[in-house]
Structure 1
Amino acid sequence: MSRTRAAARTTAAVAEVVLAGDLARPSRLTVADLLGWPQQQAEVAFECATSGVRHHRFTGPLLHDVLSAAGPGFDPARRKDRLRFLIALTGTDGHHSLMSWAEIDPDFGRAPVLLAATIDGAPLDRAGPQLVLPQDRCGARYVSGITAIRVDGGYRSWP
């Protein structure tokens, strides 16, 4: 196999996460990019419907830090505008999860949600990062192989 084809295969094997939505700086990130952020560690136990209680050690940046750097479109003229923002995540297997900005905001829920770059010391560069919610008893929101994160502030009024 030629070096060009081998390089293309290696590049294709690296997963990317698309950050999109109401962001000043939408982008694409790899696990290598996430490893450049300050790393947090979480040792978690959560219930999985198919395999019982799972125990893992994850490392990665806080989701709040990564999304804050992307410049969420909060309106400074609107008091507490960030409370209307939602975060939608999609995994390679079609698994979706939705959370509010308030859950991860240090002024409100302060949940230490990770965009994990490693699991049990193994890098996730080919599988893609994993959403880790140490506060969740059930593992249903632990989205694996995240392909997209969308920040949406479209909820400006209620019926």
Structure 2
Amino acid sequence: DWYWAEDVLAYDNARLPQALIAAGARLGDGEMVRDGLRCLEWYGGQLDLEGPCLRLVGHRGRRRGEPRTDTGDEQPLDAAALVEAEVEAFVVTGDEAHARHAVHAFEWFLGRNRLQQSVYDFATGGCHDGLGESTLNGNEGAESTLAYLQALLALDAAGLQATLPG
């Protein structure tokens, strides 16, 4: 089943269920929260969130009915969005599964990804611009570094910590 508001999945899409969860919680609308949680669970399933490593949608996106491919560049912005959505779900529900998912998504930055390479650069404090088909993008742009820091701060604010894989 395709449980999504649009016919295409694109990077940064975790912001949609995050917005439903946050708005529903603040408005006291339990149905909106439940819809956001269901969307987030479905979206996480599309990214193999329960698997050994997160597989982000990538910059090419994916249309309804298309199989997942690993040809699009995975971007830090997308991982950060998922971290923050799962943190929001954890804060609103107290469900530890969302805490685990937030940490798992964050570990994408630390090497728990399909290339098994750290996207965060411990030497420079910057963050690579993503994963290509078979290589790490060598650039360390501000958007990517800020995405990493924003995800890290979201984990910290919720009292969660990530560990280096392996």
Question: Is TM-score (shorter-chain normalized) higher than 0.5?
Answer: no
Query: Could you tell me the TM-score, scaled by structure 2's length?
Result: 0.25
Larger of the two Rg values belongs to structure: 1
Q: Where is the strand percentage greater, Structure 1 or Structure 2?
A: 1
Comparing both chains, which one has the higher relative contact order based on Cα–Cα distances under 8 Å and sequence gaps of 6 or more?
Answer: 1
Greater helix fraction, Structure 1 or Structure 2: 2
TM-score (norm 1): 0.26
